[in-house]
Amino acid sequence: MRGRFCLSVLLCAGILLPLVSCNSNDPSLTSIVISPSSVTIQLAPPGAAQGYSQFTAIGYYTHPGHSAETRDITSTVSWASSGTQLATIVTGGTNAGLATVTGWVGGEAWTGNTTITASAPGFNGDIVSNQVTLTVTDSSTTDDVISIAVTPNPYTFTAINATNPFTAIGTTQTGVQENLTTASGMAWTSGNLSFVTIGLNTGLGTAVGAGSTSVTATYTNSDGTTAKGSAIVTVP
């Protein structure tokens, strides 16, 4: 009799557990919105670093008895580009959502439009985001750089005569980011040559004396306008 009672309890538990899990209040993904809404990237010459743009995915969730909530799901969605000959986009990892122009394939320049989307599992199947158009234009189309970010910033050298390569990332009028560290039109300067020197066209800094100063990257656009960015550097 005691054995039957224990069996009955176990059977009841086996029936009730699935029911409890079915009544979970975990939120369900209902939609995904990616941004920016449109991107234009200029094709770089053969052999040069191609432009790129960072996309972000925001998930919208609902669950019974609670207000809708949003989450940044950039790193967990599956990203896709409809035209990988124009641009590819990274799924997962630290570079998730980063779209990069493919550039030249077999000596041929690829320009045109590709569609960027993001998807993730939902309650009734995959949820697909809005579509964003990424346009790759030829080099005759101008897109001025309007700001420069120099990294690392701040930076402390380890000792006198130590060196460090600095990087200049430019952002254009349309929001495209480009690595301009050694690009034509880029010039590097040091705020105080007694503390730090830097390669005019390389961005390679060298510690020469104890003190604090800045290193500056200045980029000149084809129309003569300029964009600047600086990093604070210290020599112990």
pLDDT digits 0-9 by tens, 129-165: 999 999 998 865 557 899 999 999 999 999 999 999 9
N-to-C CA span, the chain: 82
Distances (CA, A) of 23 to 26, 40, 85, 165, 185: 9, 46, 46, 56, 62
Write down the pLDDT at residue 176: 79
Residue 3 pLDDT > 50: no
8 Å CB contact between 221 and 228: no
Q: Where are the domains positioned within the chain?
A: 28-137, 145-235
Write down the pLDDT at residue 15: 41
CATH superfamily of 28-137: Immunoglobulins (2.60.40.10)
- 3-class state of residue 150 by DSSP: strand
| 236: amino acid identity, one letter | P
Topology of domain 145-235 in CATH is: Immunoglobulin-like (2.60.40)
Q: What is the CB-side half-sphere exposure of residue 186 using CA atoms within 13 A? A: 29
8 Å CB contact between 74 and 56: yes
pTM: 0.55
8 Å CB contact between 147 and 171: yes
Query: Mind listing the pLDDT tens digit for each residue in 75-133?
Result: 999 999 999 999 999 999 999 999 999 988 777 778 899 999 999 998 888 999 999 99
> Tokens standing for 22?
């079915």
User: Other CB atoms closer than 10 Å to residue 1's CB: what's the count?
Assistant: 4
Q: What is the DSSP letter of 44?
A: P
| 162: amino acid identity, one letter | A
For residue 64, what are the contacts with CB-CB under 8 A and spacing of at least 6?
A: 25
Residue 59 pLDDT > 80: yes
Q: What is the DSSP letter of 3?
A: H
Report whether the peptide linkage leading into residue 121 is cis, meaning its omega lies within 30 degrees of zero. no
Write down the pLDDT at residue 12: 42
- Topology alike, domains 28-137 and 145-235: yes
Mean pLDDT score across all residues of the chain? 86
Alpha-carbon dihedral sign for residues 119, 125, 131, 136:
positive
Tokens 């020197």 appear where? 197
* φ, ψ at 47 (rounded to 5°): 90, -15
